Amino acid sequence: MPAHALPDAPAEPDWPALHLHGSASAFRQSLALLQQCARVDATVLLCGETGTGKELAARALHYLSARSRGPFVPINCGALPDSILEAELFGHARGAFTDAKSDSLGVIGQAQGGTLFLDEIDAMSPRAQAAILRFAQDHSYRPLGASRLQHADVRLVAATNAKLEDLVAQGLFRQDLLFRINVLSVRLPPLRERHGDAALLAQAFVKRLVQQYRTDPKHIDAHSLALLQTPRAWPGNVRELEHLVHRAFLLAEGAVLHLDLGAPPVAAPVAWASVHEPDPAPTPAAIDPHANGGTQGDAHADISFADAKAQAITDFERRYLAAVLQRAGGNLSLAARIAGKERSRFCKLVRKHGLQRAGFDAMAD
């Protein structure tokens, strides 16, 4: 029997014990495929929108596999700076650089015998993609400053909320790396496709919070549960629902939780037409307050130059951010790279202008 292979077909896993709750058919199909992937020691790519539970799925994949006794090591690929890339991934030998006073394992060495989870692999820089590609080919690597190659007994699991094929077409992701990581693929459906699961998840979150905070039992009121059964957009998916329940739990004065579900069930995400459509050509009256008899002055004529300039900059920023997000299909890491800004600064600008990536995800589809 090959190493890291499970002998017999296992019974249905205890998914709730792995923090994966749901009975919707789309979700159950993903779980069934996840169970199949756990039985073979191959690279897996987990796909899905942000907040759909990709890291939980990766952990389940690990703990259901023959590698369950080994370590599970997650790494956020978007937080891998090129300046220390090799040391972070492959480790370093003593004396490799000024402060290297002893040997150090990188994340690959830490994952020996277990699973290395590459989260947000779409956010990897070209240099990082090349490094991971070399390792993915034969699992050999050389720690920084070392003279010999080492071999790692590690399973790679990657996750993305982007369409990697589109990134390949745009020259932003290596096609050969996509082939290497996409041996097996599991899609985690968004919460809006998991009919009936929102109420089930919310109740599971309440039970976990009761244990976490060691409180008396609490429950969600009937009205909130009824609203959870109605179709909603859930742009933040399961993570959005979890935060909603957590907030209600912390603010509840008694045993009953009232969820702030806002107004409307679903419909479309925010309309972005006003952002994406080009402004109409300026009229003579807008350029020259004396044109057409001078009765219609420019909208900015009654404010200072500094205020008008600030408003113009704000309008430009919003249109530019929206255009970049549209091109990136709502992927913040990719959009930040296109804009040439650090991800944290780019996200701060997005929040400043009240833009929500969900609308751009929908447009990308």
State the residue for tokens 């969900």. Answer: 358
Domain count along the chain = 3
Q: How confident is the model at residue 272 (pLDDT cuts 50, 70, 90)?
A: very low
Q: What pLDDT is recorded for position 298?
A: 52
Please say which residue of 171, 189, 207 terminates a domain.
189
The CATH number of the domain where 165 resides is what?
Answer: 3.40.50.300
Q: How confident is the model at residue 257 (pLDDT cuts 50, 70, 90)?
A: very high
Q: What pLDDT is recorded for position 70?
A: 97
Mean pLDDT of the chain: 83
210 shares its domain with 249: yes
29 shares its domain with 106: yes
Residue 3 in domain: no
35 shares its domain with 174: yes
Please say which residue of 189, 215, 233 terminates a domain.
189
The percentage of residues in the chain with a pLDDT greater than 70, rounded to a whole number, is 80
Tokens coding 306? 């500094």
Residue 267 in domain: no
Tokens coding 43? 């690279």
132 shares its domain with 90: yes
19 shares its domain with 151: yes
Residue 93 in domain: yes
Q: How confident is the model at residue 155 (pLDDT cuts 50, 70, 90)?
A: very high
166 shares its domain with 199: no
Name the 3-class secondary structure at 153. coil
119 shares its domain with 20: yes
Statement: residue 91 has pLDDT above 70 = yes
CB 50 within 8 A of CB 161: yes
CB 335 within 8 A of CB 327: yes
285 shares its domain with 142: no
99 shares its domain with 141: yes
Statement: residue 270 has pLDDT above 50 = no
Tokens coding 338? 């296109």
User: What domain range is 60 assigned to?
Assistant: 15-189
Residue 20 in domain: yes
Q: What pLDDT is recorded for position 10?
A: 60
Q: What pLDDT is recorded for position 95?
A: 59
216 or 10: whose pLDDT is higher? 216
Q: What pLDDT is recorded for position 6?
A: 54
Q: Measured over all CA atoms, what is the biggest interatomic distance in the chain, rounded to whole angstroms?
A: 90
CB 243 within 8 A of CB 337: no
140 shares its domain with 24: yes
Residue 4 in domain: no
Statement: residue 269 has pLDDT above 70 = no
CB 362 within 8 A of CB 269: yes
Mean pLDDT value of segment 253-272: 66
What 8-state DSSP symbol labels residue 42?
A: -
31 shares its domain with 156: yes
Q: What pLDDT is recorded for position 226?
A: 94
In angstroms, rounded to a whole number, what is the distance separating the alpha carbons of residues 76 and 197?
28
Residue 10 in domain: no
The CATH number of the domain where 218 resides is what?
Answer: 1.10.8.60
The gap from C-alpha 51 to its chain's centroid, in whole angstroms, comes to 6
Residue 268 in domain: no
- Dihedral-angle region of residue 217 (phi above 0 means left; psi in -120 to 50 means alpha; beta otherwise): beta
In angstroms, rounded to a whole number, what is the distance separating the alpha carbons of residues 9 and 216?
40
CB 157 within 8 A of CB 40: no
Mean pLDDT value of segment 204-210: 97
Residue 182 in domain: yes
Residue-wise pLDDT for 209-256, tens only, equals 999 999 999 999 999 999 999 999 999 999 999 999 999 999 999 999
Please say which residue of 172, 189, 206 terminates a domain.
189
CB 314 within 8 A of CB 300: no
Name the 3-class secondary structure at 20. coil
Mean pLDDT value of segment 94-114: 79
Highest mean pLDDT among 177-191, 284-298, 320-334: 177-191
Statement: residue 48 has pLDDT above 60 = yes
C-alpha to C-alpha distances, 63 to 4, 14, 66, 72, nearest whole angstrom: 12, 11, 8, 9
Q: How confident is the model at residue 75 (pLDDT cuts 50, 70, 90)?
A: very high
Q: How confident is the model at residue 190 (pLDDT cuts 50, 70, 90)?
A: very high
227 shares its domain with 283: no
Q: How confident is the model at residue 25 (pLDDT cuts 50, 70, 90)?
A: very high
